[in-house]
Amino acid sequence: MTARVSEQERTDLAGWVTPAQLALFDAMPVADRRHGLDVVARLRCLGASDHDLLLAGLLHDCGKGPGVRLVHRVTWSLSERYGPGVLATAGAVPGMRPGLARIRDHADASADLMLAAGASTRAADLARHQAAPTDPILGELLRAADEAA
């Protein structure tokens, strides 16, 4: 709720992402932009310098979009802790299903948006498989940084 991205942080991105990727970043809600920057910082602390990995860290949540609100995020987190019954119950509340579906599908949506913005297939695949990595090294680094950030 109090997430911020400084002008300097945004300006620094222009040094390593394309204009289309920067536009994708700018289109994200501020909480997701802050989280992406925090994931990148965590990856760098872990010694990562691979461009595809850093780009996946930055943009892995871009597919959530503005329709995912705090109530959707909290509900999703509760369902991860307490099981799918939380989603079933919340889905009966008017307006909840679209936001929950966006969270459920965001990894694929993020990967597709990244590809459209010129990211490599490798970077998109890291984002697409963020929750269950298929790359045992870079994918696991992304998952760990995402959870820590």
Residue 1 lies in a domain: no
Residue 28 lies in a domain: yes
Q: How many domains does the chain have?
A: 1
Mean pLDDT throughout 20-49?
96
Does the structure show a pLDDT above 90 at 141? yes
> How far is the CA of 105 from the CAs of 6, 110, 117, 143, in angstroms?
29, 9, 19, 17
Does the structure show a pLDDT above 80 at 91? yes
Residue 5 lies in a domain: no
* Whether 57 contacts 146, CB under 8 Å: yes
* Phi, psi of 36, rounded to the nearest 5 degrees: -60, -45
Per-residue pLDDT, 67? 87
Per-residue pLDDT, 66? 87
The confidence band for 58, taking pLDDT boundaries of 50, 70 and 90, is very high
Does the structure show a pLDDT above 90 at 132? yes
Residue 9 lies in a domain: no
Residue 70 lies in a domain: yes
Query: pLDDT higher for 119 or 1?
Result: 119
> How far is the CA of 149 from the CAs of 15, 39, 66, 116, 118, in angstroms?
22, 5, 20, 26, 25
Mean pLDDT throughout 111-138?
97
Q: Structural domain of residue 75, as residue ranges?
A: 18-148
State the CB neighbour count (10 A cutoff) for residue 4. 9
